[in-house]
Amino acid sequence: MRARHLAWGLSFGLHAAGAAVLLHGLPAEEPPVMPVMLVEMPAPVAPEPEAEPPPEPVAEAPPPEPAPPPEPPPAPVAMAEPPPPEPMVPEPPPQA
């Protein structure tokens, strides 16, 4: 009986040691993150534009000419009458 107790104790000890090795092999807590100060950058200043010469005066466009009055629509074309039917030419009597 004593051997069985020793075997159980040895088995338990080995399992505990293996578990400790496995747990040690796992990554620990993440390293603390160092705080970083955010410095607000000033907005870039655009260079001052050089003074432009005043624009030259532009001649005004002449007023638009009035549009000519629209042409009257063409007179409706009368329907042509169909040609009169040609007179029936009597057939010559059959020769006997």
pLDDT surpasses 70 at 27: no
Segment 49-83, tens digit of pLDDT = 777 777 787 777 778 888 888 888 777 777 777 77
Query: Is a pLDDT exceeding 80 seen at residue 46?
Result: no
Tokens 């069985």 correspond to what residue? 4
User: Residue 11: which H helix or E strand, with range?
Assistant: helix 2-25
Residue 25: pLDDT band by 50, 70, 90 thresholds? confident
H helices, E strands: number in the chain: 1, 0
CA 11 to CA 19: how far, in whole Å? 12
Pick from 20, 2, 22, 23: which is nearest to 12 by CA?
20
* Distance (Å, whole) CA 14 – CA 25: 16
